[in-house]
Amino acid sequence: MRTTYLDYSSESDDDDVPAYNMFKITFVGTNRVGKTSLIERLKSNRFNMTVRPTLHIEIHDGVRLGDIGGTLWELPPRVCIQYEMRNYRTDAIVVVFDSDDISTLRKGVALWKLLHAKLHPDCVPEVWLVYHGSVHLDQVPYIHQARLFQVDTMTNDGILDFLYDMRCTLRRKRIY
């Protein structure tokens, strides 16, 4: 197992995350695009070469991401399509796809739209697109360029930028 660590230099020494900085973040995307790898990287600061496929909803509770924390939900395609999730609530949605297979972007956005239809009427989540692969995408028609992050879960490339943007945006969302 390869181990590398994220730099949380801005976090305090206190292990407790204030209740107002607790969030629910949902990860969606097609099979084998790296949702679990990204979540494990954010949770434990490690990259694991052997990851089991996610079959059902996976909930990672009590995750600390610097000065914010919360629950990371992983929803594979089958869950988004088959399960009735009425009035689902989330603070953020992360659509994960592989830029080497552009069809995973279209399928990921379709899953996001399907999930969006099941959201609670008052829920307006922040949305990010996170991708890995060798193809660099300059523009994606579905989202603002500032919310598109190319990450490599084996190294820190792009992860720190994504994490910083997510932390700042979610903290600002709670202030207003």
Instruction: Quick: pLDDT tens for 23-47.
Output: 999 999 999 898 988 888 888 877 7
Domain positions in the chain are 19-175
Which of 93 and 174 is assigned the larger pLDDT? 93
User: Is pLDDT at 3 greater than 50 in this prediction?
Assistant: no
- Cα separation, 60 vs 166, whole angstroms: 17
User: Is pLDDT at 11 greater than 60 in this prediction?
Assistant: no
**DSSP structure string for 37-82:** HHHHHHHHSEE-S--PPP-S-EEEEEEEETTEEEEEEEE-HHHHHH
Average pLDDT, the chain: 81
**Percent of the chain whose pLDDT exceeds 70:** 86
Look at residues 46, 34, 41, 37 and name the one whose alpha carbon lies nearest to residue 95.
34
Please compute the mean of the pLDDT values over residues 4-30 and round it to a whole number: 65
* Residue pointed to by tokens 């990672």: 60
Encode 113-139: b = buried (16+ Cβ within 10 Å), e = exposed: eebeeebeeeeebbbbbbbbbeeeeee
- The answer for 38, left when phi > 0, alpha when psi is -120 to 50, beta otherwise, is alpha
pLDDT at res. 12? 42
User: Is pLDDT at 72 greater than 90 in this prediction?
Assistant: yes
- Band the pLDDT of 85: cuts 50, 70, 90: confident
Which of 29 and 14 is assigned the larger pLDDT? 29
In CATH, the number for domain 19-175 is 3.40.50.300
